[in-house]
Structure 1
Amino acid sequence: MSIKTAVPTATDGLELLASAVLLLDREGRIVYANPAAENLLESSVKGLKQQKLSDLFLNGSQLAAVFEKAAAHQFDDLRQDLILDRIGREPLWVDTLAKALDNPATPVLIELRENVQQLKLEREERLFDQSQVNKELIRNLAHEIKNPLGGLRGAAQLLELELPERHLKELREYTQVIIKEADRLQTLVDRLLAPHRLAHIVSDVDIHEVCERVRSLMVAEFPHGLTINRDYDLSIPQFRGDKEQLIQAILNIAHNAAQALTDRIQSGDANLTFQTRIVRQVTLAKVRYRLALDLHIIDNGPGIPDDIQERIFYPLVSGRDGGSGLGLTLAQTFVQQHMGVIECESRPGCTDFRVLIPLP
């Protein structure tokens, strides 16, 4: 009885690599792509084969130039950072390695590694720019609404004074609706304008005091069914800041999480975790900091719907009925006034809001 054994091939080792690897023929067409390349390029080997790698991108001429030099053996290997544009999808930020091979059939190997740090920086810059646009839009809109509201409320009050006595009771109900709705809108406008007032950097802030204050408020509001876990790094130093603004920012995030946990709270297995750490050499809003606070607010809820994940910090965007869509907008603004940023990663069963603030 004979036992057949699989014969190893030259590409077996490439299958296990986490980085995308492609082998190209003399015309620059893809002959082989490992599983990581399929994931990165969002296409199967069957779909990639015989396509020119440079044709997959709008600015593929950069890759074509690298291929030509490698195929001509002008170098053994060449590393470059590239931004590869794609139709209808986000650009790829990649570290590229082109290597010349002594193989006539596949003379060039291209390795692509997604540049996670550059992606993060680009996302932060985009978030900051969007936030600045939102601030200007909100400020102008709020001022445009505020003045007519005062006149509307005043007119309703004067009208109420002029109502005939015999119809006062039934007609007063309508004027009160106008007055109360004007007051409600005034409160909304005040909340829209509030984050544009500068932070009062008046005290040393202990982030754990902030978290404990928020925790006590959450326990009071949700005494049953919600477990709040604490995972603190007590070595984190104090920093200058506006304690009340930070309490409000963390409370807004935690409160949003609790509302998303409604079903789990009723089942008694809802979890909310406050975790603090220090990160080193972090870039926030294009500025490099030696140390930064790394605060996570994590819940085990259903996750943020895919269609709003990229817009959750926009004003008036809410994932629940009846939500104002201002809580996360205010939280982001308050944190940005401390030179920080809020990031979010969400999937079913785990939503993680990450607050980064520079430390002295």
Structure 2
Amino acid sequence: MDTDDFIVKRIPKAARPFVVIGAGIVLQATYGIVYTFGNILPYLVSYLRWKVDPNQTNGSMIWLQSLMNGIPFSMVLGGYLERKIGGRKGAIFGSIIYTGSMALSYFSIEHSYFLLLLTFGCMQSFGQGVSYNCILIQAQRWMPHRVGLASGLIVAGFGLGGFFISPLQTKYINPKNLPAGPDGFFTQREILEKVPSLFILMAIVFGITQLIALCFLAEPKNPDEIETQSLISMESTPDLSSRQIVYSSTFKLLFATLFLNAIWCQTTSGFFKAYGMTFIHDDFFLAMISSFAAMANCTSRVLWGLFVDKTSYQTSMMIACTVGSALMWTLATIRWLEDRSFYFLWICGMFTCIGGTYTLVPYACHKSFGSYNFGIAYGLLQLSLVITDYF
């Protein structure tokens, strides 16, 4: 495809889609901090108990995870900005907010849980939501006839970050693999004192990476248009109002699907380490589970994208929901097997199904509402995550 972008147009035409999508994957990897929440949860709550409020518990941190999973209308704004100013400028705007809020969390965690909710929860999630949608839309425009694969690759990047970030977080904060106390909290001063500086470290690494990758995020010139097809009965149309989208039966079914799946997806990704610490007393092993679960999440998203391109949304989502539900309902029995390798397999399997949910829904949204309407429609679908936070 052709492009007017100053940098990308100097790359051979055949390689441009791969370069842009590669840049999108790298950017998404820096935004995937939410998939490391389960790994850093024990460190954050231990620090807050030591420095701010001794009554903090793992359960009280659910509000932080909920905010990290999405802020209302941030993705809608991302879709709007992509239309008005382009994907790169929209992603730059989101990245500045995202990385800046990460750095501010160095100060907020030292003073208040509420301030941490504001910086590491609200602001970080808002910036991530804006950038996420801009990047996803650009990728789909570069591969208009392989939407499932394009979506899978981009959202795979979102899961990829956890594979690298989780072990680095643990190595930085707990390099000696010191165990948590019998209540599941760390009390060692050498661990707790490193928690605030972790935010600065992540902000620097993410900021440099984003600065480079954003140079290669570009929009194709006159992208090929593909015929949109409804999953149910809505006729294709080049432009739909938000009201038309929300009142369609397709949107309602996708909204319900994302809402129901997100309940167990967020529970698994947020609390698997805290639960594992009740019977596995090895911080490095749990960090390894977090890392490989992120890789399972990442790899599965590409595979789900390929699979749905060959089959259908209905078939793919039915498989993901069935397997995910079975693993979720049997997770509590794993601790009685007294073999931590089973816990490793169960968590990786569950993250594979999580990858399915967040690949198949954007695929269905694009197929149902078309490329032009995708940004707004998918942003509105993400509002289901806000409702999920209250369950």
TM-score (norm: length of structure 2): 0.25
* Structure possessing the higher radius of gyration over alpha carbons: 1
Q: Higher helix fraction: Structure 1 or Structure 2? A: 2
Highest RCO, 1 vs 2 (Cα 8 Å, sep ≥ 6): 2
Q: Name the structure where strand makes up a greater proportion of residues.
A: 1
TM-score, structure 1 normalization: 0.26
